[in-house]
Structures are given as structure tokens and as C-alpha cells.
Amino acid sequence: MNNPLHILQTLDRHLTVPMELTLFGRAALALGYAGSPAVFATTRDVDAILPLSWLEAADENRDFWQAQQRTNEELEPKGLYLTHLFREVEVILTPDWQAVVFVNCQFGEIKADGGWW
């Protein structure tokens, strides 16, 4: 079982509008790197970085927050969750972090959009 993929597929089911999510941590490694250690797929959570510009959206991204809450409620019996959500100012990033996307996870497929940075 790939826990990060299961978490994100559950989130996707609860979303009503498309969105981008920048992953980091073990979930990003499990989903983005073929041959990553199998233990990364057993992580119980997904960590994500939220851009300040995204957080300032007029609709306050209500769809995402509601989907996140429903995802956590559904997966709680399995001990899985999507709760480690950091504003971009809360993690160490390169100045051009949003311009360098390595993995674009579209549910049902994972495709590499770039290279090492």
C-alpha cells in the first residue's frame, strides 16, 4: 500500500475544483522517485507547502479546506492524514521554488516535469 497516494486520491475524491499541491518530505519522495526506499510509501501523512499567493485567494480556498477535513475524517481510522501544511515562509526554500517543479502528481498518473535542482 502506498499511503501517500491513498491519502491524495482520497483528497482528490473530495475536491470539487482542480488544485495544485506542492509536496515535500517522505510522501514527495515516495511518489516522485522510482526506486525510493519502500519505507517512504508507509509514511502516515502528506506534507505540503502552501504559497502565500494561494492562501490569499478571494474564496479562501474553501473547497480545499473542506476536502482536507473530509479526507482526514475518512482516513482517521487508518491513522492516515493530511495535516502538515506549511506556508512557504515556514520552510527553507530556494527563491525560485515555485518555478522548479520536479513532480506533477495528477491522480491516476505521476509524471516528471523537470530534473534535479
Per-residue pLDDT of the chain (117 residues; tens, 9 = 90+): 899 999 999 998 998 888 878 888 899 888 888 788 999 999 999 998 888 887 887 788 899 999 999 999 999 999 999 988 888 777 777 777 666 655 545 444 333 333 332
Task: Give the pTM.
Answer: 0.79
Taking the C-alpha atoms of residue 9 and residue 14, their distance in angstroms, rounded to an integer, is 9
Taking the C-alpha atoms of residue 108 and residue 117, their distance in angstroms, rounded to an integer, is 25
